[in-house]
Amino acid sequence: MASNESEYMLVPHKHKINFYKTTKVRVSNDFVDTVDPYHFISFPDLLARNFDTRVAFDFLGEVVSTDPIGTRIAVALWGSFAMKLNTYISQHNNDTAPVIILLRLAKLKIWGGQPQVGNCLFGSRLHINDDMPHILEFKSNLNALDTNVEYSSRTSQLNSDTVVANPEDYYLRFQIKNIDEILDFNEEVGLTIIATIIGFDMDDGWYSFYCRDCSKKVTKNDEDVDVGPFHCVGCGFVSDVFGKIRIVVRVQDERALLRLYCLSVM
């Protein structure tokens, strides 16, 4: 028995039982299953981070987009979870039925300043349109809401191209071009260039921190100021911030030079 206090907790109990190599486990025949094993958090509470974010939760929702930037709530699945959803969507591409996922023991993370649900460690389980009471109930509620709405081939709006197993599979989706050929394109297009980094333009790069609550730029306090590491004009002293970074990279291939402006949110 140990204290259950860490940044990642599967259940909100104050104690946990640790298993040793010598621990023996068997199925209990007389266990009365009266415990509700599910711990769902509503979308508004997830978006507002209105719960103990250290504790894993269960998540149920309809997949409306596999675009990396979701507007409702983003779910990022990794490893075998991503492959499972990808396979499901590619096999049901012509279905009109909604894709409902139930992710057990999920974790909330912050990506680019926005809440994002993901699988975590070894405890998560992903159910896609399985015959489970919660999924069936969710579907019937959805049907009730949608009675007048045409299912505009829901799954066919989803595409299975966003998940790839190897980095090569990702960049080989785009045409490989030389730097001097980029100017031939006058509309937005994905291209792959293969080039050598020859330097970084330090004067053009920058990084800044922003307040997680109001997104305003914050200033870093001196080390000896112990009220908080950052100061936000709107919120005062804060510690919950995210960063933005711009790196300017100079690259070269056999024909030309290029300056790449890489902007990223941390």
Chain residues that interact with Zn ion, rule: CB under 5 A: 211, 213-214, 232, 234-235
Supply the minimum distance, in Å, between the C-beta of residue 247 and Zn ion. Answer: 26
Supply the minimum distance, in Å, between the C-beta of residue 236 and Zn ion. Answer: 8
What is the length of the chain?
Answer: 266
- Between residues 214 and 245, which has the closer beta carbon with respect to Zn ion? 214
Supply the minimum distance, in Å, between the C-beta of residue 231 and Zn ion. Answer: 9
Cα 231 to Cα 38, 106, 236, 238, 262, distances in angstroms: 39, 32, 5, 6, 27
Give the C-alpha separation, 35 to 97, whole Å: 32
Give the C-alpha separation, 20 to 1, whole Å: 11
- Between residues 194 and 214, which has the closer beta carbon with respect to Zn ion? 214
- Between residues 164 and 235, which has the closer beta carbon with respect to Zn ion? 235
Q: Do the Cβ atoms of 56 and 107 come closer than 8 Å?
A: yes
Q: Do the Cβ atoms of 109 and 76 come closer than 8 Å?
A: yes
Supply the minimum distance, in Å, between the C-beta of residue 69 and Zn ion. Answer: 23
- Between residues 165 and 233, which has the closer beta carbon with respect to Zn ion? 233
Strand partners, 103: 59, 126
